[in-house]
Amino acid sequence: MIILLAGKAVEVKIQKIIIADANKYFREGLKRILLNIGHAKIVGEAENGNDLLRLMETLNADIIFLEVNMPELNGIEATRIAHLKYPETTFIALSSLENSRYVRQMLDAGAEGYLSKSSDNYELFRQIIADRHHGRFISTELRMNKIGNTGLNGVNKL
């Protein structure tokens, strides 16, 4: 299917997605948003990093949306482990932790983005689903207000 994204026609395939977050209500809300955008199929949900790694062994996900602060195995370590084993998978952090240290740690672990849970990320979700290899995806508020000294300004294409 072809959609318009930033004024350009982009062919979009269905993206298989896993959502990892300890809060089931957050997972449900994110699932609704992603399904509303379209071109997304939620193939799994995990409550912690260990569950995520187990799911990834059996599911062939294109995109993982995960919280940084999860029980048992946090999102940073889960991303580091999973990215080594599944380098073609796109990892996007979704967190209320808006400290530049966490952003840098997630990106260094292999994440392609870091979105604030308190931001309106709808357009970024659309971009990620449409072209997950487009570059790094950082919430505008984080990019402008929180991580200005980390060298990440301008990394998302929004």
Q: Please name the helix (run of DSSP H) or strand (run of DSSP E) that holds residue 114, with its range, or none.
A: strand 113-116
Q: Which domain holds residue 141?
A: 2-91+101-146
pLDDT of residue 145: 61
Residue 61 maps to a domain:
yes
pLDDT of residue 158: 36
The distance of Cα 73 from the centroid of its chain, to the nearest Å, equals 17
Q: Please name the helix (run of DSSP H) or strand (run of DSSP E) that holds residue 17, with its range, or none.
A: strand 15-20
Residue 151 maps to a domain:
no
Low-confidence ranges of the chain (pLDDT < 70): 1-8, 10-12, 143-158
Residue 67 maps to a domain:
yes
Tokens of 90: 């796109």
- Give how many domains the chain has, as a whole number: 1
CA nearest neighbour of 156 among 117, 99, 118, 111: 111
Residue 19 maps to a domain:
yes
Tokens of 14: 């269905």
What's the CATH code of the domain at 106? 3.40.50.2300
Residue 52 maps to a domain:
yes
pTM of the complete model: 0.84
